[in-house]
């Protein structure tokens, strides 16, 4: 293709894409551009490679964990008359995975989608990050935030029937929100600081390590570490944590996490939030939990066991999971959130009697 044809093709693509953006039957547009040709395909993809071909392993995995977008109508039909609640993970779910954890920004479009969904349904973000950091990334009022894998939750106070009350602190804010902080690992804060200092000192010799203070837990990132240094880093981290028997290690995406050994994870956090939001004992709830990482599996299992809704995994590769449905990547998450909001708008407008 010559230069002018290429420019023409780009202009044509832009028009095509802007039209497709408003077509609710189109989730994405695949553009394939070769030396001599280009092609545009509106699609409702539910998996596959970037070149448009479906990986057979992924296709058979999708049969077990169908696309939540493809199954949208059936999912919503099963929730008819129920109260919908949305739980979201942050990294890899609302934001793409990037090398630098401090630059895992969510797009404006994603922010708008979360804002939209939170307008209609109680929405909570449960992240491994510190609560303050997730809030800095998301910047939305009207959303509940839980940081440190649920060890730091800000949610409304409700008379709780459980022993959880001892970990609650009422927030003295000017708005008088009545929210409370739930922090079951407070007593570990000084030790966490001590471990961070030791980690920073002792991992200096390994290039690319990032230590992230997630307040009630610590992330040791090795995404930028050379592969040949992985095992040295792992041994180093293990040898440090060995001296702190009240802590243990978990793993995420190119990250080793150090957590206090309390009986608490994203699954307990999900239960706690269902309780505090007033849906603990309610059978007419349809909760969604959307997440991409191993720590989200704790929440998937709880949601499955309680039969209160559907766990949805974000993955473009086959993975062992307790999730029922799947979404390929954050852009599909965004599409799912927009579908939810649109479904709610349509269902309330259909009730208007003229």
**Alpha helices (H) in 219-329, listed in sequence order:** 230-241, 266-276, 296-306
Q: Which of 14, 98, 165, 305 forms a contact with ligand L263DTV3 (CB under 6 A)?
A: 98
Q: Which of 221, 301, 308, 339 forms a contact with ligand L263DTV3 (CB under 6 A)?
A: 221
CA distances from 244 to 93, 215, 241, 248 (A): 32, 17, 5, 8
Dist. CA 282–CA 309, nearest whole Å: 12
Which is nearer to ligand L263DTV3, 70 or 330 (by Cβ)? 330
From the CB of 56, what's the least distance to ligand L263DTV3, in Å?
Answer: 28
Site string for ligand L263DTV3, 248-287 (x = CB under 6 A): ----xxxx-x------------------------------
Asked if residue 146 binds ligand L263DTV3 (CB under 6 A), the reply is no
Q: Which of 20, 31, 97, 181 forms a contact with ligand L263DTV3 (CB under 6 A)?
A: 97
Dist. CA 270–CA 33, nearest whole Å: 45
Asked if residue 110 binds ligand L263DTV3 (CB under 6 A), the reply is no
Q: Which of 104, 209, 258, 337 forms a contact with ligand L263DTV3 (CB under 6 A)?
A: 104
Q: Which positions ≥6 away from 328 have C-beta within 8 Å?
A: 45, 46, 47, 67, 314, 315, 316
Which is nearer to ligand L263DTV3, 42 or 101 (by Cβ)? 101
Instruction: Please name every residue paired with 145 in a beta bridge, in sequence order, or none if there are none.
Output: 125, 154
Asked if residue 214 binds ligand L263DTV3 (CB under 6 A), the reply is yes
Are 155 and 273 in contact by the 8 Å Cβ rule? The answer is yes
Dist. CA 53–CA 192, nearest whole Å: 47
Chain positions 282 to 301 lying near ligand L263DTV3, rule: CB under 6 A, are 293, 295
Which is nearer to ligand L263DTV3, 27 or 91 (by Cβ)? 91
If one counts every other C-beta atom within 10 angstroms of the C-beta of residue 102, the result is 11
Asked if residue 90 binds ligand L263DTV3 (CB under 6 A), the reply is yes
CA distances from 6 to 17, 38, 52, 66, 309 (A): 16, 9, 22, 38, 48
Which is nearer to ligand L263DTV3, 106 or 287 (by Cβ)? 106
Cα 285 to chain center, whole Å?
Answer: 20
If one counts every other C-beta atom within 10 angstroms of the C-beta of residue 353, the result is 4
If binding means CB under 6 A, how many residues of this protein chain bind ligand L263DTV3? 24
> Can you give the binding site for ligand L263DTV3, defined by CB under 6 A?
89-92, 97-99, 101, 104, 127-129, 212, 214, 219, 221, 223, 252-255, 257, 293, 295
């Amino acid at each position: 293709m010559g230069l002018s044809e290429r420019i023409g093709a780009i202009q044509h693509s832009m028009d095509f894409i802007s039209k497709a953006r408003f077509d609710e039957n189109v989730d994405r547009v695949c553009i394939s551009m070769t030396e001599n040709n280009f092609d545009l395909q509106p699609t409702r993809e539910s998996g596959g490679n970037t070149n448009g071909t479906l990986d057979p392993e992924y296709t058979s995995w999708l049969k077990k964990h169908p696309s939540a977008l493809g199954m949208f109508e059936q999912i919503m039909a099963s929730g008819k008359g129920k109260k919908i609640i949305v739980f979201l993970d942050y990294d890899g779910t609302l934001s793409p995975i990037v090398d630098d954890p401090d630059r895992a920004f969510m797009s404006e479009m994603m922010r708008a989608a979360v804002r939209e969904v939170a307008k209609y349904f109680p929405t909570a973000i449960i992240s491994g990050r510190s609560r303050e950091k997730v809030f800095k990334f998301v910047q939305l009022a009207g959303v509940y935030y839980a940081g440190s894998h649920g060890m730091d939750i800000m949610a409304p106070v409700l008379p709780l029937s459980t022993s959880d009350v001892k970990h609650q602190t009422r927030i003295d804010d000017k708005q008088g929100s009545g929210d409370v902080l739930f922090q079951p690992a407070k007593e570990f804060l000084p030790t966490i600081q001590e471990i961070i200092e030791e980690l920073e000192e002792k991992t200096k010799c390994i290039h690319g390590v990032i230590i992230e203070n997630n307040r009630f837990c610590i992330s040791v990132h090795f995404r930028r570490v050379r592969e040949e240094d992985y095992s040295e880093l792992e041994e180093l981290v293990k040898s440090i944590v060995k001296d702190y028997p009240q802590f243990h290690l978990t793993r995420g995406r190119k990250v080793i996490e150090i957590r206090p050994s309390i009986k608490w994870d994203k699954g307990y956090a999900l239960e706690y939030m269902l309780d505090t939001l007033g849906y603990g004992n309610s059978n007419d709830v349809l909760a969604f939990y959307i997440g991409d990482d191993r720590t989200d599996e704790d929440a998937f299992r709880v949601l499955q066991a309680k039969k209160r809704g559907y766990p949805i995994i974000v993955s473009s590769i086959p993975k062992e999971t307790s999730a029922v449905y799947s979404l390929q990547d954050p852009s599909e998450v965004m599409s799912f959130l927009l579908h939810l909001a649109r479904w709610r708008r349509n269902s309330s407008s259909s009730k208007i009697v003229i």
